[in-house]
């Protein structure tokens, strides 16, 4: 689903900060950026390269983004999608935001103007990134799933 509110905010910010290279993945948004490099969707490998190279990661409050931010341990700025604006089917990103709001290295904002202000601040004065996590789920979770599946694992 589109998240034009975020795309537009970042594009406006990019126009005001021409010295900062910005890359945007916009999905099926209607608003097409004018001031920065953008694509609708990039393959995972290319996405990972952008993520590795960037100084600041800006995203919606999706679990994919949060997990990637934690895996890479890079400062991350997040803004939740809202169902009332047709940015998602439900308001679960507000719930997710509540759960992750206090995690160091992640900063969650609600509004576009705040997003732009924090982008400026975090580019000028970066905060420390989140504590990195391993690419696999915790051992206990893996063990529980594996134990459940064991009954079907015999050929």
Partner 1 sequence: MSRPKLLAVASGGGHWTQLLRMRRAFDDFDVSYVSTFEGHVDNLGGARLYIVPDASRFDVKPFGKIFWRALKVMVKERPKVIVTTGSAPMLAFMLLGRMMGVHTLWIDSIANTQKLSSSGRMARKFVNTCVSQWPEVAQKEDVAYWGQVL
Which chain residues interact with partner 1 by CB under 8 A? 1, 41-48, 62-68, 70, 89-90, 92-93, 95-96, 98-99, 133, 135-138, 140-146, 148-150, 152-155
Q: Least distance in Å: CB of 122 to partner 1?
A: 23
Residue 15 or 143 with smaller CB distance to partner 1: 143
Closer residue to partner 1, CB minimum distance, 32 or 95: 95
User: Minimum CB separation from partner 1 for residue 3, in Å?
Assistant: 12
Residue 111, CA distances (Å) to 107, 115, 116 in order:
13, 6, 9
Question: Can you list the alpha helix ranges (DSSP code H) found in 3-152?
Answer: 4-16, 44-53, 63-72, 92-100, 112-124, 139-149
Rounded least distance, CB 69 to partner 1, Å: 11
| Among 112, 133, 10, 7, residue whose Cα is nearest residue 70 | 133
Q: Which residue, 19 or 148, has its beta carbon nearer to partner 1? A: 148
Specify burial of residue 80 (Cβ count, 10 A radius: 0-12, 13-18, 19+).
Answer: buried
If the CB atoms of residues 53 and 155 are measured against partner 1, the closer one turns out to be 155
């Amino acid at each position: 689903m589109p998240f034009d509110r975020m795309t537009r905010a970042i594009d406006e910010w990019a126009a005001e900060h021409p010295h900062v290279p910005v890359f945007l993945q916009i999905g099926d948004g209607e608003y097409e950026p004018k001031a920065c490099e953008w694509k609708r969707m990039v393959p995972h490998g290319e996405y990972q390269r952008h993520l590795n190279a960037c100084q600041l990661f800006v995203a919606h409050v999706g679990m994919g983004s949060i997990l990637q931010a934690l895996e890479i341990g890079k400062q991350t700025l997040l803004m939740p999608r809202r169902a009332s604006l047709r940015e998602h089917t439900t308001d679960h990103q507000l719930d997710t935001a509540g759960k992750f709001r206090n995690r160091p290295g992640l900063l969650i904002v609600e509004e576009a103007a705040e997003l732009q202000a924090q982008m400026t601040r975090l580019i000028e004065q970066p905060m420390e990134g989140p504590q990195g996590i391993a690419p696999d789920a915790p051992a206990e979770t893996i063990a529980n799933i594996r134990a459940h599946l064991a009954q079907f694992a015999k050929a």
